[in-house]
Structure 1
Amino acid sequence: MKIRVGVIGCLGRMGKKILNELAINTKIEIACAVTRLGNKHVGLDIGPIIGYGSDLGIKVTSSVNDAFELSDVVIDFTTKECMLDCLKAAIKFKKPLVSGTTGIEGIKLKEYATEAPILWSANMSVGVNVLLKLVRNAAELLGNEYDVEIWEMHHNLKRDSPSGTAIELGKVIADASKMDFQLNQYLYNGSNIREKRRIGFAVSRGGGVIGDHSVMFVNSDERIELNHKAIDRAAFVKGAIQAAIWLYENKRETPGLYSMQDMI
């Protein structure tokens, strides 16, 4: 039997790509496609809207509750406010939720995850999650003798800064290096110098860049760099779908907070 998947944010950049990939996945069927209330496409078949070429038999809805009621697992790529609605619905219907929504500071995911299986990652790319493991290993091996700088670049429409992935990289390094993680270290000016045992952040925005991340370990003698560049959003799409399948097949009866690190 196929896994029924609902998609929240179905008309966004990620939502459309996820639906197109789901439509050709033999293990999955699309159960529901949700967009914001008042969108002109509500009530229309999702197929032509996402450029699939024919009807898929799924009409766009604005009800998050419908998605959780009709689906085995739900994928969310939206906003902080919409993600909160998804978390509440996941608890209400006891259904697994996969979310790649970023800019969610203040949401206590662990509390929601006590009542439903939730997989959240700042970046759904398998490659980025391999990078996270490599960065952790590097931080453990290099100790505290190296300054750590994280640089990221995204398209000019991205709202949160630094990116969720950059923040996650910083947290992994801080944990491995036994240092306090502080986000407000990415601006330097003439009145201060770089502090030791702090992680520096630099942010660039421009054009249609999907996502570039670089982690640098630097001392007076050498610099070690670990990089990831997203070539196509398909990497995030395929990772999110893998995560949905994994969460449903392995954790649907086990509430908890999971990540791509658990899956890979």
Structure 2
Amino acid sequence: MVKAIMNGCNGRMGHVIVDIAEADNDISIVAGVDKFGENNYSFPTFNSIADVNVEADVVIDFSNASGVDELLDVCADKNLPVVLCTTGLSDDQLAHVNVASKKIAILKSANMSVGVNVLMKVLKEAAKALAGSGFDMEIVEKHHNQKLDAPSGTAMSLAEVINDAAGGDYEFVYDRSARREKRPEKEIGISAVRGGTIVGDHDVIFAGTDEVITFSHRAYSRAIFGKGAVEAAKFLSGKPAGMYDMSDALGLK
């Protein structure tokens, strides 16, 4: 039985993951961490990851970017692997993640769903074939009106996947309103839509001459991310220090 700490237990994803873990015989949430809300769980909750005094095998983090640095430092000191699901990290924080991965196992993914990670694998092959054949590449992502970061971490990961597969020399463009020129060849446009209660939509568009190919993923429930996070935690428990992602957990490499 894998013993997990849920960092951000009172958030939307925290509640989802706790419910999923309760129905899974291979993992148990033994403690929660959250600065906000009351403890309505059967396990103890703490205001800070540094205050947790419960033995665990792994931390699942769905919290806020502002707390990631403390999380990494504490987990490195306690030799606790981290499933890092929080998005919107700064360049300095991403560098901190890499430093911490020298001491502990870290699985970082902008999107924990099985479908998105399979999509990433498919996009590698599509970009190799289509970018060299004159297809322009665009990404449109849509999320609910409470999401703080834009573009989404998933959109950025999709852009990086197709850029790497297409040669790595494409520029990411987020706004064309100040430009009056035709679209450059080596460009990937990334557009963000925020509204209502959209859980998460991502479209990757390959637009060629007289034909368009679109790869789409629609999330209808946050449960898909929770299931992925739980599977990632079970995979990461006991792993040596290093950087991992969902393709490792899902055996897609």
Normalised by the shorter chain, which TM-score bucket?
over 0.9
Gap change, CA 1:178 and 1:71, over 3 Å in 2: same
Gap change, CA 1:64 and 1:11, over 3 Å in 2: same
- 2:31 aligned with 1:4: no
Gap change, CA 1:103 and 1:18, over 3 Å in 2: same
Q: Secondary structure at the match of 1:78?
A: coil
> Are the equivalent residues in 2 in contact too, given 1:179–1:197 (CA < 8 A)?
no
**CA deviation vs aligned residue, 1:138-170 (integer Å, no higher than 9, x gap):** 001223311000000000010111100000000
Q: Residue 224 of structure 1 is aligned with which of 203, 213, 216?
A: 213
Percent of pairs with identical residues: 38
> Are the equivalent residues in 1 in contact too, given 2:171–2:186 (CA < 8 A)?
no
Question: Partner of 1:59 in structure 2?
Answer: 44
In the superposition, the TM-score normalised over structure 1's length comes to 0.89
**CA deviation vs aligned residue, 1:190-211 (integer Å, no higher than 9, x gap):** 5233111110111111000000
Question: Partner of 2:23 in structure 1?
Answer: 24
Structure 2 distance, partners of 1:131, 1:72, is 30
Structure 2 distance, partners of 1:124, 1:169, is 13
Question: Partner of 1:130 in structure 2?
Answer: 118
After the TM superposition, which residues 60-209 of structure 1 pair with which residues of structure 2 at under 5 Å, given as runs?
A: 60-67=45-52, 70-106=55-91, 107=93, 108=95, 109-144=97-132, 145-183=134-172, 185-189=173-177, 191-209=180-198
Q: How far has the Cα of 1:78 moved from its partner?
A: 1.1
Q: Residue 210 of structure 1 is aligned with which of 199, 202, 205?
A: 199
Q: Higher strand share goes to which structure?
A: 2
Structure 1: gaps of 5 or more residues: 48-55
Higher relative contact order (CA 8 A, sep 6+): 2
The root-mean-square deviation of aligned C-alpha atoms, in Å, is: 1.5
Q: How far has the Cα of 1:187 moved from its partner?
A: 1.2
- 2:231 aligned with 1:242: yes
> Are the equivalent residues in 2 in contact too, given 1:31–1:67 (CA < 8 A)?
no
Q: How far has the Cα of 1:69 moved from its partner?
A: 5.3
Structure 2 distance, partners of 1:244, 1:84, is 20
Gap change, CA 1:135 and 1:141, over 3 Å in 2: same
Question: Partner of 1:51 in structure 2?
Answer: none
> Are the equivalent residues in 1 in contact too, given 2:131–2:137 (CA < 8 A)?
no
Structure 2 distance, partners of 1:90, 1:192, is 49
- 2:248 aligned with 1:257: no
> Are the equivalent residues in 2 in contact too, given 1:120–1:257 (CA < 8 A)?
yes
Structure 2 distance, partners of 1:175, 1:105, is 21
Structure 2 distance, partners of 1:32, 1:112, is 22
Q: Secondary structure at the match of 1:70?
A: coil
Q: How far has the Cα of 1:182 moved from its partner?
A: 3.5
Q: Which amino acid aligns with 2:27?
A: I
Structure 1 distance, partners of 2:14, 2:170, is 32
Structure 1 distance, partners of 2:46, 2:107, is 24
> Are the equivalent residues in 1 in contact too, given 2:106–2:244 (CA < 8 A)?
yes
Q: Secondary structure at the match of 2:237?
A: helix
Gap change, CA 1:166 and 1:68, over 3 Å in 2: farther
